[in-house]
Amino acid sequence: MDALISYLVNVISLGGTYALLALGLAVVFSVLGLINFAHGELMTLTGYVLLAGILTGQQFWVAVLIAVLACGLAAVLMEFAAFRPVRNASGATLLMTSFAVSMLLQVLFQNGISARGQAIPVPPWLTTSISIGNSQISKVQVMSITIGILALIALKIFFDRSYWGWAIRAAADDFEVVGLMGIKASRLISFAFLLSGLLAGIAGVLWVVQRGSVDPLMGFKPVLAAFIVAVIGGLGSLTGAVAGGFILSAIEIALQTWLPAGVMPYRDAITYTVVVIILSFFPNGIFGKRDQEKV
Amino acid sequence: MNRKTGPLKVSKTIAGLSVIMLLAACSSGASDAGSTEEAAAPAAGEACIVKVGVAGGQTGGLAYADVPHLEGFELWAEQVNANGGIDGKFTIETIVKDSRSDITQSATVAAELLAQGISILITSADADPTIAAGALAQAEGVTAVSWFGSAPIVQLAAGDHVFSNAFGDNTQAKVLADHATEMGYQNAYTLGSPDSSYTKMLPVYFGEAFEANGGKVVGAGSFSMGQASFSVIVDEIKALSPAPDVIMTPAYEPDFPTFIKALRGAGITAAVLGTDGIDSPTTLALADIAEGVTYTTPGVLKNEGVMGTFFTDYNAKYGKDPETIYAVTGYELGLTLEAVVTQAQSCDADAIWKAWANLEGAQGITGKISYKGGDGMAIREIALIEIKNSERSLIGTFSPDPATVPKAQL
């Protein structure tokens, strides 16, 4: 029973972060057809802004808020400076641009801040744990789960009830039709980047608080995981991004929990093998749109 | 210290080896071209320029270690040249190329440096790119030295011209195991990662030495570098019976902070032993969480004594204090080169190699450094440090009897 509780807590905690990350990617993909690999660097930026906020004496939650807003703003600026000039170029050009932005930001972080990781001084109360039955759960995980669930609920309300939420959902189905309905493409894309940046900011806070440090290359692993999550769920599918997050998390945690010690070094390889098996049954992702062929 | 960037390791290594073979062919051609230069090289004892090629990670995952090493080395080179060179006649010319912390790129830039007729090649603080670049240096008869790659396999894998400025992982694991035994710990848990030689083999060496001392390894966990969470591993440790009284891991940034936070957050109070990779301000900044963590490192980074002079000089050049011991060990690699060239009285690559392989008792900042009989690894004292009140506190310095140190494994 304790093992099951621990498993569920770990899956929800990690899955929520993955879902937020993948949603950030999916929102931009919906409107621009771009997988933004610089999304991870937005997370890294959040970590550095959070650190700066804490070191300049801001309250922890104030620093968190500033970091998330800064990330949203940075995403809008990224779109304006890097992606807008090549918006009508091919998918390959957009992809290369996102890699270039990612590399540029990494080098800027390394040379402008430090090549070494920087510790994030979180409040002492976050370093303890609470008991559920015989299981102990760290407060960082509790925070991660709470924020993750609240963010997902807020997103659900946003997508269901707001004008821009409808616009992004519609764009995910057919971007051209959204344009024909009078919504300006530039504003929609900027808004999608803002939302993507805010999601990267929330995920970034959860990531660095759990990890305890921020470093220039921190964004690579999470963006890779988010990409896989988005593919599992179906590229461009917002529901799929959430589902994919929890599926990947469930696979990773299950393997980490129950794989025999001798096989453990192959955990990542097994995880990705399972992902390939899932994709062999759902080539467009679980919630992806099927390719339509006209006869 | 070694660092690998995780899941791409195997493919990178294969790609790297392919490129190495290609580059070896190219660089041997370069060697022919340089043979005229060799023929015209100054005779022993005559003034000449020691061309030092640096194939280190100025960017990427190894920059955190390679950059401070280079800073320390360049400080040394500047001081030496200001005094007219080593022994007043052998000036230093440093040529730096960025390997981007990538194995294939390390081999590429090493080939370019070798084609420029360097006297010695310096490589990243990691065994894997060192082996890739060192194999090329070996083929050219040029000495290659890693900034601080501590996997004791560089000569086994690349040949007798390849060295490391670091003590071996088997030796630092022995120091940790002896400390654990002395503290009365009986049951150990080890946590490693298959992603690099460093993180893979250190727990193995530790377990071997600890069990030879009479202790027992009750569990061995595995993590992926950069993984999101250590909660499952912590749950596994909590479930162990008997519970470990000591946990040893070579995890470093950013994994070590994540692990120790999860461990202490779950209420596990077992002692934690780490290795040189965690000797950084990031660990000290963990405050109470890192209290009592004990680890091995080349020396105590403190602004006092001989190291105080280094602090003053470093600050004068860079306008900041050194953040990690790597700046010191970079400077020490310069001091080692100084002792080698003084002995060789030459800039010739072969003369430098012979002197390097037989070097004994070169004076560094943290202590004496030798290479003779070290199988390519520096024979130097290992400092054991405990974190107390967020500061480094020296437990002692150790030089284990080589006969008791676990044998190096590929």
Is residue A6 assigned to a domain?
yes
Is residue A185 assigned to a domain?
yes
Question: In which domain, by residue range, is A6 found?
Answer: 2-127+134-217
Is residue A183 assigned to a domain?
yes
The hierarchical CATH code for the domain B6-167+304-379 is 3.40.50.2300
Q: pLDDT tier at A292 (50, 70, 90 boundaries)?
A: low
Beta-carbon-side half-sphere exposure of residue B350 (alpha carbons within 13 Å)? 6
Which has more pLDDT, A186 or B52?
A: B52
Alpha-carbon radius of gyration of chain B = 21
pLDDT at A134: 65
DSSP A111-141: HHT-SS-EE----GGGGSEEEETTEEEEHHH
- How far is residue A69's CA from residue A63's CA, in Å, rounded to a whole number? 10
pLDDT at B28: 43
Is residue A160 assigned to a domain?
yes
Cβ distance B59 to A110 less than 8 Å, yes or no, reads yes
Please give the residue of chain B at the shortest CA–CA distance from A110: B59
Q: Which residues pair with B92 in a beta bridge?
A: B50
pLDDT (mean) for B387-403: 93
Please, what sign has the CA dihedral across residues B239, B245, B248, B252? positive
pLDDT above 50 (res B25): no
Asked if the peptide bond before residue B254 counts as cis, ω within 30 degrees of 0, the response is yes
pLDDT above 80 (res B8): no
| Closest CA–CA distance from residue A125 to any residue of chain B (Å) | 10
| B165 CB burial (10 A radius; 0-12, 13-18, 19+) | buried
Cβ distance B228 to A221 less than 8 Å, yes or no, reads yes
Is residue A202 assigned to a domain?
yes
pLDDT above 60 (res B15): no
Q: pLDDT tier at B34 (50, 70, 90 boundaries)?
A: very low
* Residues A31-89 pLDDT 10s: 888 889 999 999 999 999 999 999 999 999 999 999 999 999 999 999 999 998 988 88
Interface A-B, measured as beta-carbon pairs within 8 A, has a size of 129
Q: pLDDT tier at A291 (50, 70, 90 boundaries)?
A: low
Q: Which of A113, A145, A217 should we substitute to test contact with B (largest number of B Cβ atoms within 10 Å)?
A: A217
Q: What is the largest CA-CA distance in chain B?
A: 70
Instruction: Pull the structure tokens for residue B60.
Output: 């990427």
For chain B, give every domain's residue range: 6-167+304-379, 169-297+383-404
Which CATH architecture group holds B169-297+383-404? 3-Layer(aba) Sandwich (3.40)
Query: Using a CB-CB distance cutoff of 8 angstroms, which residues of chain A are in contact with residue B229?
Result: 10, 13-14, 210
Is residue A206 assigned to a domain?
yes
pLDDT above 90 (res B395): yes
Is residue A232 assigned to a domain?
no
* Residues B218-230 pLDDT 10s: 999 999 888 878 8
Instruction: Pull the structure tokens for residue A82.
Output: 């890097």
Could you report the predicted ipTM of this complex, rounded to two decimals?
A: 0.73
How big is the CA angle at A22 (ends A18 and A27), to the nearest 5 degrees? 150
Query: Using a CB-CB distance cutoff of 8 angstroms, which residues of chain B are in contact with residue A10?
Result: 229, 231-232, 235
- As a whole-number percent, the residues of chain A with pLDDT over 90 amount to 39
* Residues B340-357 pLDDT 10s: 999 999 999 999 999 999
The reply to whether domains B6-167+304-379 and B169-297+383-404 share a CATH topology is yes
* Residues B103-115 pLDDT 10s: 999 999 999 999 9
**Nearest Cβ partner for A212 among B194, B281, B286:** B286
Please give the residue of chain B at the shortest CA–CA distance from A221: B226
* Residues B245-274 pLDDT 10s: 999 999 998 899 989 988 988 889 999 999
- If one counts the domains in chain A, the total is 1
Compute φ and ψ for A34, nearest 5 degrees.
-120, 130
pLDDT at B29: 40
pLDDT above 90 (res B312): yes
Is residue A259 assigned to a domain?
no
pLDDT above 60 (res B27): no
Q: pLDDT tier at B37 (50, 70, 90 boundaries)?
A: very low
Task: Report the SS3 class of residue B51.
Answer: strand
